[in-house]
Amino acid sequence: MWLRSEALGLIEESDSNIIMFKKKREEGMFHIGGLSPTREILMLFTICSAQGMVQASLAQGFLPGIMIGEAFGAESTDIAWYPAAYALTSGAFMLAFGRVGDIVGHKRLFVAAWGWFSVWALLAGISVYSGSQVFFDICRACQGIAAAALVPSALAILGTVYKPGPRKNLAFSLYASGAPIGFTLGAVFSAMLAQLATWPWVFYINAIACLMYEGLAYLFVPNIGRKPSSTREPFDYLGTSTIISGLVLFNFAWNRAPETGWASAQCITTLIIGLLLIAAFFPLEKRTAHAIVPVAKIDRDAAWILLVEGLGWSSFGILCYYAINFVIRLRGDTMLSAAAQLSPVPPAGIAASILTSNLLTRGVKPPVILAFSLIWFCVGNIILATMPVHQTYWRNVFWAYLLSPFGMDMSFPAGTIMLSNLVPVEGQGIAASLIATVVYYSQSLGLGIAGVVEVNVANGSVLEGYRGALYLGVGLSGFGFIVGVGYAMRCMRQNKTNPGSNESAEDPQPTPPLAASSEQP
């Protein structure tokens, strides 16, 4: 009996030690409790898949674009709208959805976004029977609205679940790896379905996949980030409508200019009104108690981060669109062949994510990683801008696709972690929406500016037009690298003069420059 009681006591002590160990583990890595390893894995899979699906849906506008344009009898300049309409709304609406997620709950928004995504993917496929390209563009824009809700809610969930540290760095790096993997899978399946079946099936399969992810999100993403009804703040409808209208009109002008020209009243009017609305947004937000973006509290660090991200990702949108069109239109490759050429992207993206996580764990500062990432955007555009029309895939396109994912999967987690660490837990939606808005909106804006360059330098040559657009990508990413290096040097100088300062956005402890102090978790 004595031995039995001793054994039972040891077992109970062991169980209590295990429970205490688990609690300490959760306290050290998570802001929430009760997250088992299995649920954490399934949660990460669902959230990383959101990034993958967003990029896969973007690829669906690139690969079968020519075939879709033929179905609607569209002009060649209209084809750029298939990815641009999606990227435009996904960028313009992210600021609003970041705030919505903070109010209604990030999980609720995340689950609802999957359902919205599924509906409009289905309608995009059905649009073939309408014969209306305008309706198809509307469906693509509404898919972009779903992406605008998915991205900031996914990032806010990660920022709310994980405490600053290696685990959080790994989670954001895995999320970033979803971009190249998702884009490649989206390109391969859209090419295969469009070439071997019909292009509407690209969107039908998309709708089915989104429904499946909606179920996974409902089951495995924890309920976090929702404020009690008594503490919810009013939504800034005036500021939201002002900035969304301004961003849409400004981007619309750039994307319509290649077809109508800058002399058209359509472009001039939308450009001017868009600029006026964007300019009006900032004084409006400073006077609003519950601003969608607390402009008065945005410090210089956030502005530097967003500028570098915008320059890099605008060049990435140019790289994607013109690389695919180059091999299809100028080299005469099939869609399946063009999709197969993207095969280096997923392993390169995974390698870049692992490298970024290791660099962060070893103490390399995020501003340094952000600056270094711009090199790979620049190198990818240089390779494509200078390659001959008739040359083996292994001498140019392969290396562009192998190296450019390092720009994606180093810049996105570095910028996201830096901005996430600038805000408290309850303001993660604001941080997520800011970085995601710049990343996705800049891709659409970059395509619009590149289209203007293409039309004006082509002189009747498709090749010269493409080269001009790609050289613009070189300039944008090159300038971004210079700005990023300047910001990294500024951070290092601040660390030397004031080692305890959080101003450099490198300190893992969140400080509240971007979030209203009245907010409660």
Instruction: Tell me the pLDDT tens digit for each residue of 465-515.
Output: 999 999 999 999 999 999 999 988 888 887 776 654 444 444 444 333 333
Better-scored residue on pLDDT, 199 or 521: 199
**16-30, 77-91, 374-388: lowest mean pLDDT where?**
16-30
Query: Which of 319, 267, 258 lies closest to 455 in space, CA to CA?
Result: 258
**294-308, 323-337, 488-502: lowest mean pLDDT where?**
488-502
pLDDT category of residue 96 using cuts at 50, 70 and 90: confident
Query: Which of 450, 148, 456 lies closest to 316 in space, CA to CA?
Result: 450
Residue 419 has pLDDT above 50, yes or no: yes
Torsion of Cα atoms, 208 then 213 then 216 then 221, to 10°: -160
Q: Are 214 and 118 in contact (CB under 8 A)?
A: yes
Average pLDDT, the chain: 81
**99-108, 253-262, 426-435: lowest mean pLDDT where?**
426-435
The reply to whether the predicted model has a pTM over 0.85 is no
pLDDT category of residue 31 using cuts at 50, 70 and 90: low
**Adjacent-strand bridge partners of 30:** 162
Taking the C-alpha atoms of residue 447 and residue 410, their distance in angstroms, rounded to an integer, is: 22
Taking the C-alpha atoms of residue 101 and residue 32, their distance in angstroms, rounded to an integer, is: 18
| Residues 6 or more apart in contact with residue 10 via CB below 8 angstroms | none
Residue 161 has a pLDDT of 83
Q: How many CA atoms lie within 13 A of 107 on its CB side?
A: 16
pLDDT category of residue 417 using cuts at 50, 70 and 90: confident
| Residues 6 or more apart in contact with residue 218 via CB below 8 angstroms | 111
Mean pLDDT of 239-267: 85
Distance of CA 314 to the CA centre of its chain: 12
Residue 162 has pLDDT above 60, yes or no: yes
- DSSP H/E element including 272: helix 265-287
Query: Which of 275, 308, 301, 294 lies closest to 377 in space, CA to CA?
Result: 308
Query: Which of 59, 356, 71, 97 lies closest to 203 in space, CA to CA?
Result: 59
Residue 426 has a pLDDT of 59
Residue 88 has pLDDT above 50, yes or no: yes
Query: Which of 472, 476, 442 lies closest to 457 in space, CA to CA?
Result: 472
Taking the C-alpha atoms of residue 410 and residue 50, their distance in angstroms, rounded to an integer, is: 18
- Please report the DSSP string for 165-186 in residue order: THHHHHHHHHHHHHHHHHHHHH
Which DSSP category does 231 fall into? G
Residue 436 has pLDDT above 90, yes or no: no
Which DSSP category does 327 fall into? I
Residue 298 has a pLDDT of 63
Rounded percentage of the chain residues whose pLDDT exceeds 90? 28
**Which phi and psi (to 5°) does residue 499 adopt?**
-60, -25
**Adjacent-strand bridge partners of 162:** 30
Q: Are 274 and 285 in contact (CB under 8 A)?
A: no
Mean pLDDT of 127-138: 89
Mean pLDDT of 432-459: 84
pLDDT category of residue 301 using cuts at 50, 70 and 90: confident
**Adjacent-strand bridge partners of 337:** none
Taking the C-alpha atoms of residue 236 and residue 294, their distance in angstroms, rounded to an integer, is: 11
Q: Are 90 and 147 in contact (CB under 8 A)?
A: yes
492: tokens are 């290092």
Mean pLDDT of 348-369: 86
Taking the C-alpha atoms of residue 411 and residue 374, their distance in angstroms, rounded to an integer, is: 7
Residue 423 has a pLDDT of 65
Mean pLDDT of 156-160: 82
Taking the C-alpha atoms of residue 361 and residue 401, their distance in angstroms, rounded to an integer, is: 27
**Count of H-run helices and E-run strands, the chain:** 18, 0
Q: Are 371 and 481 in contact (CB under 8 A)?
A: yes
pLDDT category of residue 167 using cuts at 50, 70 and 90: confident
Residue 228 has a pLDDT of 54
DSSP-based three-state secondary structure for 391 = coil
Residue 518 has pLDDT above 80, yes or no: no
Tokens 């009104």, residue located = 273
Q: How many CA atoms lie within 13 A of 397 on its CB side?
A: 23
Residue 131 has pLDDT above 70, yes or no: yes
Residue 507 has a pLDDT of 44
Better-scored residue on pLDDT, 502 or 242: 242
Q: What are the tens digits of pLDDT across the range 268-287?
A: 899 999 999 999 988 887 77
